[in-house]
Amino acid sequence: MIVVTGGAGFIGSVLLWQLNKEGIDDILVVDHLGKSEKWQNLVQKRYRTYMPRERFVEHLVKDDLGPIEAIVHLGACSSTTESDCDFLWDNNVEYSKAICQYGASHHIRTLIASSAATYGDGSQGFSDDPKSLDRLRPLNMYGYSKHVVDQWLVKSGLIDCVCSLKFFNVYGPNEYHKGSMQSVVVKAYHAIQEKGSLALFSSNTPDVADGMQRRDFVYVKDVAHLLAWLLTNRITGIRNVGTSHARTFLDLGKAVFRAMNKAEHIEFVPMPSHLVHKYQNYTCASMDWLRTEGVPITFRSLEEGVFDYVRHLNQAPYL
């Protein structure tokens, strides 16, 4: 059995889709559905059963889940504006520690989600070398919660048993339920549909022109493909997950207009004050590990990913 926490969420549900494509369906989905629409991400997936996250922790303590081949821990609060630090510590830090300890003690293949938010403003670079961890200064509590887990994995020695994946700007199907944390791609799609135009944040610094903020945008289907490959290839450590190409938000906007076959109309609006000092103007994953570890997976270009995503959005918001 494979356990996927956050299995009804964005990356988790696309991982289910990928695993199902590979003929794998002995999967325990762990999540917190509540009153959300995330249940729709499970409708066309094959899996053994669903379990609320609270019950999963109880079963970990009792150690009565039966044989588990692998755990992919993607469940977390991913809001970069979440202000309840105690909630983030309990939900993102302690929950992750418990899963990693259980996986290590039972010799279970364990993958967990970290984040490029751990890199802060990027002044310390984007190397996933554990030796650089203590230099990083995340800009928000979400990023810090992921950073704390990475530091703990290294200091506890569990990093040799776990693969912690620093996801950069992931976009693609099944993110419709994420509200303000949806990618700019899907926000652009809906804005262009409704108004025929797209508003992007103006720059928060004179060093960067409007629309020239750059991010490493990575397509969720490629992320799911990599996760599925890692399940049977025991690479451990802290690993970036991106394309190693930083693209501008202007590039992204133009790609969405082209994919929608719409005339381009882009304007700039002031960045909200609560983001001005917590905004990453540049991210780019160092991905040398793909070559050194012989990973046979390539990532789509921004244009290729956006085209495929828009094709999905024209039909349904989820796979």
Active site residues: 142, 178
Q: 3-state DSSP call for residue 150?
A: helix
Residue 193 phi/psi, 5-degree rounding, is -60, -45
Tokens linked to 293: 């570890």
Distance CA 222, CA 220 (A): 5
**CA distances, 56 to each of 30, 98, 102, 257 (Å):** 7, 11, 12, 43
Q: Residue 195 burial by CB count (10 A; 0-12/13-18/19+): exposed, middle or buried?
A: exposed
Residue 218 phi/psi, 5-degree rounding, is -130, 135
Q: How many CA atoms does the CB half-sphere of 122 hold within 13 Å? A: 16
Distance CA 134, CA 157 (A): 16
**CA distances, 155 to each of 118, 120, 126, 238 (Å):** 17, 21, 20, 13
Based on its alpha-carbon atoms, the radius of gyration of the chain, rounded to whole angstroms, reads: 19
Q: Residue 61 burial by CB count (10 A; 0-12/13-18/19+): exposed, middle or buried?
A: exposed
For 304, the enclosing helix (H) or strand (E) is helix 302-313
Unique residue bearing structure tokens 């802290």: 238
Distance CA 68, CA 9 (A): 21
Distance of alpha carbon 118 from its chain centroid, rounded? 13
